[in-house]
Structure 1
């Protein structure tokens, strides 16, 4: 099974989880020499994806709607609280196709 393939009991391609990480792991802001060894960016490429972010805007939702044909979840997380049980439930439901 490749990283994009889902296990046999799951229908469709495996969803991609995109966590917004500020600082040196940010693929758009970090210089390549500051990224950890083995760091890579993966594009959703038509797969369902969930984007966990503390600074989403209507422009982000519009871009995803216009350019990404697969299911997508733009999930806001309060940066003062971080990921909490309801966030994990929402992500789990999305990954399960609910």
Structure 2
């Protein structure tokens, strides 16, 4: 039997890692951790990643099937999930490198709709725009919640409340 829960596609940088917050001033509750995912090995300095461990239990309590929708790919399970207390999660295989679509649709949008395959989903990212909303409304028959998060502050209480309400009310 298919899992009846809606999918929650999670981006890392922006929603979980508020990378645009001023240097040295992570939002309250966040810890800055030095990480070395693929591409950040020596001689590069460690990548400073800001994470709030309270987000893991909040995400798990939403009632979604959590799926990484980030360029971190499977490395989100190595670097991000343990800090948040999340189990190993499935991730979207992007199939090709990121690109900029000439129609303004984000490079993730088409792939997420394909992965959802008509299933209800929510998508949390810091780069969702009107072209994505429009394209998804024309190309995805299932219910959708698109939540654009400010990359300077990350996920906030109202984001979790919107996700919770949409998941229960669909």
Instruction: Work out whether the TM-score is over 0.5.
Output: yes
- What is the alpha-carbon distance in structure 1 between the residues aligned to residue 147 and residue 162 of structure 2? 8
Which ranges in structure 1 are unaligned for 5 or more consecutive residues? 7-13
Pair 1:19-2:20 in alignment: no
- What is the alpha-carbon distance in structure 2 between the residues aligned to residue 86 and residue 47 of structure 1? 24
Q: Secondary structure at the match of 1:75?
A: strand
Partner of 2:167 in structure 1? 95
- Residues 26/50 of structure 1: CA separation in 2 closer, same or farther (3 Å cut): closer
Q: Secondary structure at the match of 1:83?
A: coil
Q: Secondary structure at the match of 2:123?
A: strand
Partner of 2:117 in structure 1? 45
Counterpart of 1:78 (choices 140, 145, 150) is: 150
- What is the alpha-carbon distance in structure 2 between the residues aligned to residue 44 and residue 81 of structure 1? 28
Offset at 1:58?
A: 1.1
Kept in 1: contact 2:9–2:69 (CA 8 A): no
Instruction: Report Cα offsets for 1:25-69 as digits up to 9, x if no partner.
Output: 766x56xxx843875328211111001111111110111101111
- TM-score (normalizing by structure 1): 0.69
- What is the alpha-carbon distance in structure 2 between the residues aligned to residue 68 and residue 80 of structure 1? 30
Partner of 1:10 in structure 2? none
Equivalent pairs counted in the alignment come to 85
Kept in 1: contact 2:8–2:122 (CA 8 A): yes
Which ranges in structure 2 are unaligned for 5 or more consecutive residues? 14-36, 39-67, 78-87, 93-111
- What is the alpha-carbon distance in structure 1 between the residues aligned to residue 10 and residue 167 of structure 2? 14
